[in-house]
Amino acid sequence: MDALRDTAEESRLLFKKLDERLERSMLHSHHKDLIAQVSSETDPVSFLPKVAALLFLQAYNKALQAPGSAVGAVITLLKDKLPAATFKVLTECHATTMKLLALQDAATGDEDDCTSDRMLEKKEDLEERLMPELKSLALGTSKEQ
């Protein structure tokens, strides 16, 4: 920390203390934006990073911006902070999304390929079962919470 202060002083940079009111206001605004994004999201692949960021914000009161490839690590951090039911649905949604992405990568585009049937099955499972359940848990509209 001293090295940072020395470097800032030599560079004639001024550091301001964190404005806690501004930070709270920004977190609240970010929380509202994430709620709107999660509630309106229909694409299963785009949904997972948004809901993970929302759950992280709710659990740690810290904003999180992470790529989709880091969602697994975020879920691991949330394990002890979420109710068991929410964590179970979140991990199941993550696993199904990863399977869907793997099937999309393996798809050849051939009509005889059974990959498209499996992709459709995974996507329907996400859209019809997992996404609505996780949305209700993350948005606090579930009777379980």
Q: Are 82 and 90 in contact (CB under 8 A)?
A: yes
pLDDT score recorded for residue 144: 39
Distance of CA 9 to the CA centre of its chain: 38
pLDDT score recorded for residue 21: 92
Tens digits of residue pLDDT in 11-58 = 888 777 778 999 999 999 999 999 999 999 999 999 999 999 999 999
Average pLDDT of the residues in 88-108: 91
Tens digits of residue pLDDT in 103-114 = 888 877 666 667
Domain boundaries, the chain: 18-138
Q: Are 131 and 83 in contact (CB under 8 A)?
A: no
DSSP label at 17?
Answer: P
Average pLDDT of the residues in 60-70: 91
CA distance 67 to 32: 20
Q: Are 84 and 99 in contact (CB under 8 A)?
A: no
Q: Among residues 59, 65, 134, which one has the least CA distance to residue 94?
A: 134
Q: Among residues 42, 90, 46, 87, which one has the least CA distance to residue 68?
A: 46
CA distance 143 to 145: 6
